[in-house]
Chain A
Amino acid sequence: MRQLLLCPPDYYGIEYEINPWMSRARGADTPLVQAQWKGLFETLSRLECKIELVPPKPKLPDMVFTANAGLTVGRRFIPSNFRHEERAGEAPHFARWMEEHGYEIVWLPKDLYFEGEGDALFGGDVLFCGYKFRSDINSHRAVADNLGCLVISVELVDPRFYHIDTCFCPLPDGGAFWFPDAFDEYGQRAIRDHLRDLIDVAPDEAAHFSCNAVVLGRDVVLPEGAPTLVSTLKERGYTCHPLPMSEFLKAGGACKCLTMFMPQRESIKG
């Protein structure tokens, strides 16, 4: 059974602006935040998975986005080195919690920015990593060294899609759904070279963060607002669970950003 890490949104709010979605003038609606997060928690709980909760910390509003805690493979946890000072304080809390739960903590060199599962998603045995806005490409090499897997580094070019998990979602059958324009042409080619059956998400649906989805077996939990994608996924035999995510979109996050797999992969096949 897949295990997921979530963090309750007790201290969530728009307190700074570190991506084009964030505007302090447009704060989050607290009761709606609670309701939407609860909706995600309950939807995931009904699916085949076990949910762990990391306690939230005051003054760290984005801790709710656990995908950026780090990357977990087997019992090994590679914590994030956040690019922005505003989020850097989250790293020790996540690392301590993971260590207390029996994971081996492997820090990357401090000068290499790396934002965890947000910028590192397995498609088959290949780890697809995004770079430029948040993670450094050199952090990918360090991750590849550490895990001994093939890492495909792809450049993100649209600041709205600043993490790879905002525009790319691998599926267990070997394909993925993605928003190609979020990548430069080399990145697009590299992804096409390594994955077949790619589903292109239309720009208006991608703007609802439709690619920011949690895939558990044949179930896909994604933000509402992508009817075309939902029907395409249905045709492929997936069951979609669209959820309202408006309050988290205000911070540039949705279902996947709110979730980290523990682990994302049990082991690496070289």
Chain B
Amino acid sequence: MFSETVILRGHIIDSLILPKVLDQILTQGGDFKIGEIKIGQNRVDQSYARIEVSAKTHAVLDEIVLRLRQHGAEVLEKADVQLAPAPADGVFPKDFYVTTNQQTFITLEGAEIEVRPALMDCAVTVDREARRATAKKFHEVRRGMEIVVGHQGIKVVPVQRSTSRTDVFEFMSTSIALEKPKSGVIREMATELKRARDVGGKILVVAGPAVVHTGAVPHLEKLIEWGYIDLLFGGNAIALHDIENALFGTSLGINLERGSLAERGHENQMRAINVIREAGSISRAVETGTLKSGIMSACVRHGVEFILAGSIRDDGPLPEVITDTLAAQDAMREKITGVTTALMMGTMLHSMAVANLLPATVKTLCIDVNPAAVSKLTERGSFQSLGLVSDLEPFLRELTVALAR
């Protein structure tokens, strides 16, 4: 949201200028907050109102302010942000402003600039010439970069809970659906995914190997085939267990169909790694026909981009796994532009990492069989995140059924 503060003075109550101005803000597609109002006591006393006018775009705001000026509104000059140079590479100046995942604006030379991306736990660097404000992580900062310090000239616009209650994120009064009818939430989630797909919003899935263990692979494959997934983030494990399952019908040596330990099943995982390493990459294994089914195969065949971030306990890892955590974060950050909906399933580690990168406006549904994992992810102060305590297979099965309708 972009905003300006305007002042109205004079006989604005008797002349009905105040109600007129407020009505015009709304009819022009803006919003207002009255910051201060002083009403004249006597008949000839003039009144005063300070009004914060906001709108979704600069153009709409300018148009509104232009109209309000005709009715005597004076625009209040805003204080600029304060800047200080970074003292060294990878170090922010003292008192640097720490970002949230909410939409944020800074005022520079009287004009508002949106900080992009809306990324938490960063500092804001300012490029005066390009009139650009960017949220940067420690490792991205270079000595001398101008960085916002203090809180002056900064405006944070939290995502508000809508009063219209049009989707599942708005009608749920609590963020975790533990003792709530799950099918209702899943149906609503299906509607949300359809809506996101129809308007061209990107849908991100963050998944752990539990998707494979619980036997939910066919459901996730369907979601990929139906075009409901644009991006997949995970670790070495989900890819590896999925590939092991595709090649040998086991996951960590357990036969998924029968639920029993396969003979020499413990070797399957290592053999799967070797097959992919030999092919050169997961993509290559799919292209050469070595890997024919499963989540990763579906991703490659349907052009769903995936980023696999490594961790210290990984076997292999598979060739596409990024083992440098900063490089993995950068790669994920680069891909999340345009994501409007995120499904986080069965991985606390990767879900937390991705949640830290997402703006608060992204609608996030976290599904885990462990209530602690769900609450850790949903208690992040955003009305746009919702948790569901559930095993993954039943969840994904119901979701695909709802989407198939």
**Which residues in A have their C-beta under 8 angstroms from that of B16?**
186-187, 189-190, 193
A45 interfacial contact with B, CB 8 Å: no
Q: Are A149 and B10 closer than 8 Å at their CB atoms?
A: no
What residues of B have a CB within 8 angstroms of the CB of A148 in the complex? 44
User: B71 in the interface, Cβ–Cβ < 8 Å?
Assistant: yes
Find chain A residues with CB under 8 A from B82 CB: none
Q: Would you call A138 and B72 a contact (CB within 8 A)?
A: yes
Using CB atoms, name the residue of chain A closest to B11: A151
Once A137-B71, A141-B9, A141-B46 are accepted as A-B contacts, the answer to whether A186 and B17 lie under 8 Å apart by CB is yes
Provide the main secondary structure of the chain B interface: loop
* Bound-state Cα–Cα, A153 to B16, Å: 8
Give chain A nearest CB distance to B74 CB in angstroms: 8
> Which residues in chain B, 20-78, are within 8 Å of chain A measured between CB atoms?
20, 42-44, 46, 70-72, 74
**Known contacts A132-B70, A138-B72, A141-B46; A152 and B11 CB within 8 A of each other:** yes
Distance between Cα atoms of A190 and B71 in the complex (Å):
15
- Would you give the shortest CB distance from B190 to chain A, in whole angstroms? 46
Cβ contact within 8 Å between A270 and B14: no
* Residue numbers in A under 8 Å from B43 (CB-CB): 150, 270
Q: Which residues of B contact A190 (CB under 8 A)?
A: 14-16
Number of inter-chain CB pairs below 8 Å: 60
A150 touches B10 (CB 8 A): no
Q: Is B110 an interface residue (CB 8 A)?
A: no
| Residue in B closest to A149 when the chains form the complex, CB atoms | B44
A74 CB, nearest partner CB in chain B, Å: 16
Name the distance in Å between B231's Cβ and chain A's nearest Cβ.
51
The interface residues of chain B lying within 8 Å CB-to-CB of A132 are 70
Which residues of chain B come closer than 8 Å to A136, judged between CB atoms? Answer: 72
Q: Chain A: which residue is nearest B12 at the CB level?
A: A153
B200 within 8 A of A: no
B10 proximity list for chain A (CB < 8 A): 137-138, 140-141, 144, 151, 153
A138-167: CB near B (< 8 Å → 1, else 0) gives 101100110011111111000000000000
- What are 7 A-B contacts defined by CB distance under 8 Å? A137-B17, A137-B71, A140-B10, A144-B46, A149-B44, A186-B15, A193-B16
**Inter-chain pairs besides A132-B70, A150-B44, 17 sampled, C-beta below 8 Å:** A138-B74, A140-B10, A140-B72, A141-B72, A144-B10, A144-B46, A150-B14, A151-B11, A153-B17, A153-B72, A154-B15, A184-B20, A186-B16, A186-B17, A187-B16, A193-B16, A270-B43
Using a CB–CB cutoff of 8 Å, the interface residues on chain A facing chain B are: 132, 136-138, 140-141, 144-145, 148-155, 184, 186-187, 189-190, 193-194, 270
